[in-house]
Amino acid sequence: MLADAWPGLNRIRAVQRALAGRVNPVYLEIGVSRGQAFQRISADVKIAVDPAFKLSERTRELADAKARETHYFETTSDAFFDDQTEFLERHPIDVALIDGLHTYGQVVRDVEQTLRYLRDDGVIFLHDCNPPFALAARPAASWDEFIAQQSGPLAIGVWNGDVWKAIVHLRSTRHDLLVGVLKCDQGVGFVRKGSPETSLSYSAEQVEALTYADLKADRQRLLNLKPARYLNEFLAAGAISPPI
């Protein structure tokens, strides 16, 4: 069982499990910041994208030691995908972790852009997809804006934003993808090419209008929420041919 093999499953363990057994895998991480995940992931080629790296020299050493090649792009994800087309065509992505700007629109763009370069059996993970309470899910354009919104002393040190809406959007608009959320580590979203088990039918305007109260009332259905042990089934299934 997954719970026995990986107690305390989180995004880092999920990524490493997805990379295991692949031949010379390429790993992309969007939203690296201090490198908490990037330094721990082992892959043949690792690609880091962040508009403002906060990596210590030691963190870079640890990250570099777990790859044959590491590439650092200090830029926004939008600019990265615009400017690095040839690089990405030479490095098709096996596994990606999207943990950048915690806004619905940006996460959707990051997923859609990553899919252009994802191998047919590739996997995308998303962090912060299952906010535990309303304050953590408060929309903001950045961490600084989120902090500035607080009317009193900050009671929590976590901001998930409205990343969860990206799950609803993808499940409503992309019927060629299997999308859901693992119930661990504040919600680890998963995306791969293939037929969905279930889908939603929200328009973009309806997704935008959803509130945390809507999520709280219908979390299981909106997120296709799965127990952590589902990761085994998800990865074992392999790529499924998208419907024609």
Tens digit of each residue's pLDDT (9 = 90 or more) over 57-78: 999 999 999 999 999 999 999 9
Task: State percent of the chain over pLDDT 70.
Answer: 86
Tens digit of each residue's pLDDT (9 = 90 or more) over 85-135: 999 999 999 999 999 888 999 999 999 999 999 999 999 999 999 999 887
Output the 3-class SS for the chain. Answer: CHHHHCCCCCHHHHHHHHHCCCCCCEEEEECCCCCCCCCCCCCCEEEEECCCCCCCHHHHHHHHHCCCEEEEECCCHHHHHHHCHHHHHHCCEEEEEECCCCCHHHHHHHHHHHHCCEEEEEEEEECCCCCCCCHHHCCCCCHHHHHHHCCCCCCCCCCCCCCHHHHHHHHHHCCCEEEEEECCCCCEEEEEECCCCCCCCCCHHHHHHCCHHHHHHCHHHHHCEECCCHHHHHHHHCCCCCCC
**Between residues 146 and 181, which one has the greater pLDDT?**
181
Name, in order, each residue with C-beta under 8 angstroms of 82's C-beta and a sequence gap of 6 or more. none
131, 192 in Cβ contact below 8 A?
no
Q: Please name which of 4, 3, 28 lies closest in space to residue 118, comparing C-alpha atoms.
A: 28
How far are the Cα atoms of 81, 92, 169, 173, 227 from residue 223, in angstroms, in the given order? 27, 28, 10, 14, 12
Residue type, position 33, single letter: S
Residue type, position 25, single letter: P
What domains does the chain contain, in order, with CATH numbers? 24-233 (3.40.50)
Judged against a pLDDT cut of 50, whether residue 15 lies above it is answered with yes
Q: What is the pLDDT of residue 140?
A: 57
How far are the Cα atoms of 28, 82, 117, 212 from residue 241, in angstroms, in the given order? 23, 28, 16, 34
Judged against a pLDDT cut of 50, whether residue 240 lies above it is answered with no
- Among 33-42, 91-100, 163-172, 234-243, where is mean pLDDT lowest? 234-243
Q: What is the pLDDT of residue 160?
A: 83
Tens digit of each residue's pLDDT (9 = 90 or more) over 185-233: 999 999 999 999 899 999 999 999 999 999 999 999 999 999 999 999 9
Q: What is the pLDDT of residue 138?
A: 73
pTM for this predicted structure: 0.90
Q: What is the pLDDT of residue 145?
A: 55
The length of the chain is 244
